[in-house]
Amino acid sequence: MAYAPHSSRAVAIGFTRSGSSKKLLNHAFYWWGFLSFREGVAWTVASFLWLLLVPSLLFLQATALVTTNPSAVDSWRDHFFGIRSWFFSVDVVLILHSVTTASLLRGVPLVHPLRALQAVGLTISILGAASASPRLHATIARVALALQSLGLGSLFFRLQGLG
């Protein structure tokens, strides 16, 4: 039987609970964001490898979330809580990577509206790693989905004249 927080995280990453690939939207959106690095960045092997860390971590999260053998999972709820600490710790690394990358490669100041989304995401990830409360994880799943939608919306629908 499906477990809602697990299923919403799986869909956000781009997989169904059966393990079959879906649209892989999260991965595609990261690559879309990386498109901004095509100009204005002095590329080195180190900066390229630094950026490749993100798809590697997303792949590890997706594999942990749906496993390499999903038919062997008796309870998606138990599976989710078994991996939740590791899964959300990787989220923390991804957010810190995003903060560092935006600052070092794009020159985004630490005081910027984008940082509010990152702070909320970091808080959600820390709470997700630290807590085993099913009620909190149900809330985290909804807030994370809204946060991701807001973040992606800001990527694609920037209002003219607002900076």
Q: Identify whether 93 is part of a domain.
A: yes
Q: Tell me the pTM.
A: 0.75
SS3 of residue 15 by DSSP: strand
Q: Identify whether 163 is part of a domain.
A: no
Q: 20-69 pLDDT, tens per residue?
A: 233 355 666 677 777 777 777 788 899 889 988 988 998 888 888 888 88
Q: Identify whether 87 is part of a domain.
A: yes
Q: 102-142 pLDDT, tens per residue?
A: 888 888 888 888 788 889 889 999 999 999 999 999 898 88
Q: Identify whether 161 is part of a domain.
A: no
Q: Identify whether 162 is part of a domain.
A: no
Q: Identify whether 149 is part of a domain.
A: yes
Asked if 18 contacts 11 with a C-beta cutoff of 8 angstroms, the reply is no
- Largest Cα separation within the chain, whole Å, is 53
Show the domain range for 90. Answer: 4-156
Number of domains, the chain: 1
Q: Identify whether 107 is part of a domain.
A: yes
